[in-house]
């Protein structure tokens, strides 16, 4: 119960789809979604394999709370070896696809091998089959979803697919579901493209069985009331995450122009006020409304409407003007990071990232690295196809997002990601990435805890693997950060494996109450902490087996050597050298960053 108890194993090389029972012993130790799928990866997929080879498995996984009435209980994750840096990738998405997959009776889909021709997986409850996707290959996400619904004459089918970026194996291609929700990070869409798997289309009618429905609804009522009354939920509903832009700008931790600056002189053009202000051209605001994912009681997602007369749309007359809008991360990476003050251009770039299936964080940060290469002369118009890649150029942003999404021209080079691009052009120090993955919208000089979180994140630089925000905004010093980062890393490991979102701010006590009513197992808050720690160490084991070492637990040189020029962290660098040894010690790892035998034994990982 709560789990469906079923795994769908799809061998793309052989063209087979076979159902099997879930490993229930693993489920009781690793919960679901991120944790359970990582266990399957560790057991069945070679960590040393090339991420874009048939030997790298690709897993879609739900959690025990996916498809239940728990607030935000609609999450799923894509787990594989990531295409950007070869670390374990786990990319989490909302929308309605995950709940539909669970309702079809499947907890997990494991894709093995590589198809000889483009295919998509069609699931109708127990019936699963691989179908020819030749006619879909070369189409965007926005063309693929309606095409599959039309083909099957069912508008209720839920679809997760890749666009052309995934087909072309852009290193940060993502998997998009419900048109604008995405398993966005780590290049999971490139892995999907390498397998010639265009889409998964699901129709589910089975429902999810709950062990103690009365107890579950009582637990959900308690957490839902707390969520409804919390100030952060109201803010997320009204304004999404983009108010963070003013916070990091005020604090001096907003990465700007490839982290050369930490406060943006054009902040008023791309912040929440700019999104809500009526345009001079048509009197409408960029922000149209909000929307919610399956079972969500917050509704943080933004829906924007672009200015139909904006220059980016001149040659795209049928391009939708209303779609998923800027969030904080996409707003930062397509605005301040590239120095662009045109919110319509940033919105267009975000649309194209959804249309073609690309992570807007990695795209924007890679473009910002290219802009620094261009402005320092390492790149010229000869390489860029005549485009002047200057910071602040909205025209360059629009041109390059189109080219990258289609894998054409200089966009093919941008599709390498910042690490490979900067190495190619002789300036690896311009890449703002950790373990090959580009940084989110926080600089580690003013936010030391986030610096440690980036350096130690198992999937590369990430703002969702730890939560040091509160302390970082109060204390700019290395002391105490290791404990905060570890505790919140373990908590998010449990949250991400349960099938719910991080935004409601669920406590482990609330998750415990929901899980204990929903399914078998020991889900006390104390054990959930252990489960989270176990998952973190399992991911670490995968990375070590993949060849990563302690040397990969680092930050861009700029954060370690160039003092912040302004803001609360002025004059500081990120003091990772002081935080990392303490982090290893508290984790129960040796000086080389390897979990000790005692740690592995304590977590039942040896």
Partner 1 sequence: MKIHLNFVALEVNHLPAEGKDELDLIEGSNLDAALQALGLGDDKSYLTLLNDDSIPTSLRATTILADGDTLTLFSPIKGG
Contacts with partner 1, residue ranges (CB under 8 A): 231-232, 234-235, 241, 243-244, 246-248, 250-252, 272, 300, 327-329, 440-442, 463-464, 467, 469-470, 473-476, 502-503, 566-568, 570
CA–CA gap between residue 198 and residue 66 (Å, rounded)? 24
User: Residue 442 — left, alpha, or beta (φ > 0 → left; ψ -120 to 50 → alpha)?
Assistant: beta
CA–CA gap between residue 37 and residue 137 (Å, rounded)? 28
Residue pair 574/456 in contact by the 8 Å Cβ criterion: no
CB of 248 to partner 1, least distance (A): 8
CA atoms within 13 A on the CB side of 191: 35
CB of 191 or CB of 559, closer to partner 1: 559
CB of 223 or CB of 333, closer to partner 1: 333
CB of 248 or CB of 258, closer to partner 1: 248
CB of 65 to partner 1, least distance (A): 19
Q: Would you say how long the chain is, in residues?
A: 606
CA–CA gap between residue 502 and residue 483 (Å, rounded)? 20
Strands 16-21 and 6-11, bridge-based pairing: antiparallel
CB of 247 or CB of 277, closer to partner 1: 247
Q: Which residue from 477, 568, 563, 475 is spatially nearest to 250, judged by alpha carbons?
A: 568
CA–CA gap between residue 580 and residue 144 (Å, rounded)? 45
The conformation of residue 8, written as its DSSP 8-state character, comes to E
Helix (H) or strand (E) holding 577: helix 576-587
CB of 505 to partner 1, least distance (A): 8
CB of 31 to partner 1, least distance (A): 22
CA–CA gap between residue 495 and residue 316 (Å, rounded)? 41
CA atoms within 13 A on the CB side of 65: 34
CB of 47 or CB of 364, closer to partner 1: 364
CB of 234 or CB of 591, closer to partner 1: 234
- Give me Rg for the CA atoms of the chain: 22
CA atoms within 13 A on the CB side of 261: 16
C-beta neighbour count of 117 within 10 angstroms: 11
Which token pair is 286?
């960029």
CB of 101 or CB of 476, closer to partner 1: 476
CB of 52 or CB of 337, closer to partner 1: 337
């Amino acid at each position: 119960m709560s789990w469906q108890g079923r795994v769908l194993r799809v061998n793309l090389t052989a063209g087979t789809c076979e159902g099997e029972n879930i490993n229930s012993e693993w489920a009781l130790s690793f919960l679901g979604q991120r944790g359970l799928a990582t266990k399957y990866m560790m057991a069945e997929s070679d960590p040393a394999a090339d991420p874009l080879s048939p030997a790298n498995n690709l897993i879609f996984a739900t959690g025990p709370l996916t498809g239940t009435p728990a607030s935000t209980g609609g999450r799923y994750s894509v787990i594989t070896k990531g295409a950007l840096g070869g670390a374990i990738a786990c990319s989490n998405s909302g929308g309605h696809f995950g709940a539909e997959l669970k309702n079809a009776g499947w907890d997990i889909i494991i894709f093995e091998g590589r198809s000889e021709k483009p295919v998509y997986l069609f699931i109708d409850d127990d019936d699963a089959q691989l179908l020819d996707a030749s006619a879909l290959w070369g189409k965007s996400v926005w063309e693929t979803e309606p095409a599959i619904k039309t083909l099957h004459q069912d508008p209720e089918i839920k679809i997760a697919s890749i666009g052309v970026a995934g087909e072309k194996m852009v290193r940060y291609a993502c998997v998009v579901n419900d048109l604008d929700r995405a398993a966005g990070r780590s290049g999971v869409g490139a892995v999907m493209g390498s397998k010639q798997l265009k889409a998964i289309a699901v129709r589910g009618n089975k429902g999810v069985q709950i062990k103690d429905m009365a107890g579950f609804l009582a637990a959900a009522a308690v957490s839902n009331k707390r969520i409804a009354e919390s100030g952060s939920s109201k803010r997320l509903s009204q304004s999404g995450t983009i108010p963070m832009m003013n916070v990091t700008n005020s604090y001096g931790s907003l990465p700007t122009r490839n982290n050369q600056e930490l406060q943006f002189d054009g902040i008023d053009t791309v912040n929440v006020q700019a999104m809500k202000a009526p345009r001079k051209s048509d009197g409408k605001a960029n922000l149209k409304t909000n929307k919610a994912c399956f079972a969500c009681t917050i509704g943080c997602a933004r829906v924007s409407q672009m200015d139909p007369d904006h220059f980016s749309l001149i040659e795209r007359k049928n391009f939708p003007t209303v779609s998923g809008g800027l969030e904080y991360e996409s707003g930062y990476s397509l605005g301040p990071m590239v120095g662009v003050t045109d919110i319509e251009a940033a919105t267009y770039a975000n649309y194209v990232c959804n249309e073609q299936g690309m992570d807007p964080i990695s795209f924007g940060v890679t473009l910002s690295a290219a802009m620094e290469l261009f402005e320092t002369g390492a790149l010229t118009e000869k390489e860029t196809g005549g485009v002047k890649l200057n910071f602040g150029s909205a025209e360059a942003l629009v041109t390059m997002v189109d080219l990258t999404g289609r894998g054409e021209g200089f966009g093919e080079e941008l599709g390498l990601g910042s690490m490979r691009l900067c190495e190619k052009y002789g300036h690896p120090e311009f890449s703002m990435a950790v373990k090959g993955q580009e940084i989110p919208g926080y600089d580690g000089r003013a936010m030391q805890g986030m610096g440690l979180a980036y350096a130690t994140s198992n999937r590369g630089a990430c703002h969702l693997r730890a939560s040091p925000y509160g302390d970082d905004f109060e204390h700019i010093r290395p002391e105490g950060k290791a404990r905060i980062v570890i505790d919140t890393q373990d908590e998010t490991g449990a949250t991400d494996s349960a099938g719910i979102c991080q935004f409601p701010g669920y406590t482990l006590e609330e998750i415990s109450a929901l899980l204990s009513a929903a399914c078998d197992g020991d889900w006390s808050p104390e054990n959930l902490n252990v489960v989270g720690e176990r998952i973190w160490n399992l991911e670490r084991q995968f990375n070590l087996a993949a060849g990563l070492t302690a040397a990969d637990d680092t930050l861009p040189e700029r954060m370690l050597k160039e003092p912040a020029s302004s803001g609360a962290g002025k004059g500081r660098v990120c003091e990772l050298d002081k935080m990392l040894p303490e982090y290893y010690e508290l984790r129960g790892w040796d000086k080389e960053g390897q979990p000790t035998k005692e740690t592995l034994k304590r977590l039942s990982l040896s």
